Amino acid sequence: LVTVEAGLPLHRLNALLDAAGLALANLGDIDRQTVAGAISTGTHGTGSAFGGLATRVHALELVTAAGEVLTCSADENADVLEHARVGLGALGVVSTVTLQTVPAFAVHAQERPAPLDETLARFDELTATRDHVEFYWFPHTRGTIVKVNTRLPLEAGLHPLPRARAWWDDELLANTVFGALVSAGRRLPALVRPGARVAAAALGAREFTDLSHRVFVSPRRVRFVEMEYAVPREALLPLVREIVAAVEAGDWRIAVPVEVRTGAADDIPMSMASGRETGYVAVHVAPGSPDQAAYFRTVERLAAQVGGRPHWGKMHSLTADDLRGRYPRFDDFVALRDRLDPAGVLANDHLDTVLGAPVRARG
Ligand SMILES: Cc1cc2nc3c(=O)[nH]c(=O)nc-3n(C[C@H](O)[C@H](O)[C@H](O)COP(=O)(O)OP(=O)(O)OC[C@H]3O[C@@H](n4cnc5c(N)ncnc54)[C@H](O)[C@@H]3O)c2cc1C
């Protein structure tokens, strides 16, 4: 168990854990977030047997709207801990977090391009038998990149990518060239579709083994606007197929890939994976894309049909009325918020939209 200040960025935490021979069990795509920002919004990686970062919270300290410091653990204020692990910033300011870590481990990464149909056909088998699986589909192509990560003991040895290859793939192709394609597409939308074909073809197969966090996390320097929906696992691939069909039927120009991941069910009331095995679909556009509204609206409509829950830290258009039906314990969370912050000290427009107005404003 490791206790940290809640504002510690994950990349600094990972370095400290390395030095202690420890690691976080799983991570999302980047490590720039703070511990509090990551857990409060339900940040997750991929892996059918792995929950998001908040599932590793053992205890936390919460400074309430009244200025009181609540220690929340299994023994004290356990009801608050249950909700505050994914607290949306609505229950108080998280000041310290005690995380369950695991012994440091290595991850063997296999990344390879594959046709979309093959990826969809193999996804259930892969996610059932491998530790961490995800894929990216490049809109306007039938191409995907599939990433399969396998956990290994450190004693198995590390075989990281040579520095030149890592720079070529992660900096030059994934950031510089991809960024140039996205920005060319913003100026000249006719370039988006040929650009997508270039991007899909550029990334080749690669295999390496490195410390877990160095495999899970990548540098991300290309700006994009993102929406992500969590759906029941069995609804994931049908939803992806519908999104593919909508993009193929539409007149949009989508320059940024769709990311598909999975996660274990958890018991955190406001977690996107609360109470159900989960599949995640993230859609992205270049900032300012004229297609954002129609594309995101379409994905939201398709996700709504299967009870999709939007990521709390990404774009969406849902309100408390929509969300209440998608989270069985939504009203328990709001009741706790009203108990801890009846005057709405921590309220803001966004929280009023997704949770409803605080008690005082409701009169
Ligand atoms: C490039 C990129 C890649 C990403 N990849 C992933 C991914 O792989 N998986 C995934 O799930 N998400 C991903 N995200 C989303 C990201 O993890 C969330 O947006 C996260 O909340 C960002 O944390 P932060 O510390 O930067 O945010 P902040 O903006 O500081 O915080 C976000 C929210 O958390 C709450 N919060 C922050 N600090 C506190 C505190 N001390 N007490 C109480 N509440 C607090 C507040 O509600 C705040 O609005 C990605 C985002 C980006 C930009």
The reply to whether ligand 1 has any atom less than 6 angstroms from the CB of 88 is: yes
From residue 111, give the alpha-carbon distance in Å to each of 22, 204, 209, 262, 342: 25, 8, 12, 17, 50
- C-alpha 192/C-alpha 139 separation (Å) is 10
- C-alpha 36/C-alpha 229 separation (Å) is 21
Q: What is the pLDDT of residue 221?
A: 80
The reply to whether ligand 1 has any atom less than 6 angstroms from the CB of 36 is: yes
DSSP secondary structure letter of residue 175: I
> Which residue CA neighbors atom 27 of ligand 1 most closely?
37
Q: At what angle do helices 178-187 and 192-202 cross, to 10 degrees?
A: 170
Cα 187 to middle of ligand 1, angstroms: 30
Collect all residues with Cβ–Cβ distance below 8 Å to 209 and sequence separation of at least 6: 106, 107, 108, 109, 152, 156, 157, 158, 159, 160, 215
The average pLDDT across 66-85 equals 98
Most ligand 1 atoms within 8 A of CB, residue of 24, 33, 220 to mutate: 33
Q: Are 327 and 320 in contact (CB under 8 A)?
A: no
The average pLDDT across 270-293 equals 96
Specify the CATH superfamily of domain 106-310: FAD-linked oxidases, C-terminal domain (3.40.462.10)
The average pLDDT across 222-247 equals 97
The reply to whether CATH 3.20.190.10 applies to domain 2-103 is no
The reply to whether ligand 1 has any atom less than 6 angstroms from the CB of 127 is: no
**Is the model's pLDDT at 88 over the cut of 80?**
yes
Q: Are 205 and 153 in contact (CB under 8 A)?
A: no
CATH class of 320-362: mainly alpha
The average pLDDT across 110-121 equals 96
Per-domain boundaries in the chain: 2-103, 106-310, 320-362
> Which residue CA neighbors atom 52 of ligand 1 most closely?
30
